[in-house]
Structure 1
Amino acid sequence: MLPDKCSVTEEGKQCVNPPHFIVSIVSSSDEYMVGVTCQKHKHIVSGKIGILQKEGKMHDGKISFEPVKAIGTDCVHGDTDDFVQIDMNRSKN
């Protein structure tokens, strides 16, 4: 399960936009998920992670933005309302 809102907080207020990307750090041997972000905050998240990496507060590696995709399984059932916020036509950036 993923959060239903972007991970970014600005001026003490949580972003209300749905997540468009799963944000992770990819190193030579591992991948670490660090949050989710909307399209609007993608650049801000990238800059903040870069700063934290330079300060040694976050793993070194490439920042990855993987588009959120809806999936279905036999054990997880959802109705159409569960998928309303996911834009399946969004192009990769």
Structure 2
Amino acid sequence: MLPDKCSVSKEGKQCPSPPEFIVSIVDGKDEYMVGVTCGRHKQVVSGKIEFMQKEGKIHEGTVSFSPVKAVGTDCIHGGEDDFIQIDMNRSKN
């Protein structure tokens, strides 16, 4: 399960937008998920991660943004109640 809102907060207020991208750090064969973000905050998140990497506060590696995709399983059948808002027609940044 993913959070239903973007991971970015400003002045104590969390962004109300749904996540569009899973944010991870790729280091060779390993990949570490660090959060989710909307398209509007993609550059902000990338800059923050790179800053934290330079300060040694977060793992080194390449920042990766993977589009959120809706999936169905035996437990989640993909009905209207199972999905948060995902705009699949939005242009990829």
TM-score, normalised relative to structure 1: 0.92
Once residues 2 and 61 of structure 2 are traced to their aligned partners in structure 1, the CA distance between those partners, rounded to angstroms, is 23
Question: Aligned residue for 1:57?
Answer: 57
The reply to whether residue 39 of structure 1 matches residue 44 of structure 2 is no
Match for 2:7: what amino acid? S
Partner of 1:30: 30
Quick one: distance in 2 between partners of 1:18 and 1:33? 17
Q: Separation in 2 of the partners of 1:75 and 1:85?
A: 19
Q: What does residue 83 of structure 1 align with?
A: 83
**Deviations 1:29-77, CA, capped at 9 Å, x for gaps:** 3100000000111110000000000001111110000000000012223
Q: 1:79 to 1:28 in 2, by over 3 A?
A: same
Task: Determine if contact 2:4/2:84 at 8 Å carries over to the other structure.
Answer: no
Q: Which runs of 5+ in 2 are unaligned?
A: none
Q: Which amino acid aligns with 1:90?
A: R
Q: Moved runs in structure 1, 4+ residues, more than 6 A?
A: none
Aligned match of 1:48: 48
Unaligned runs of 5+ in 1: none
Question: How big is the shift at 1:84?
Answer: 5.3
CA distance in 2, matches of 1:68, 1:57: 26
In 2, the alpha carbon distance for the partners of 1:84 and 1:76 equals 13
* Aligned sequence identity (%): 73
Q: Provide the rounded CA distance (Å) in 2 between the counterparts of 1:12 and 1:91.
A: 29
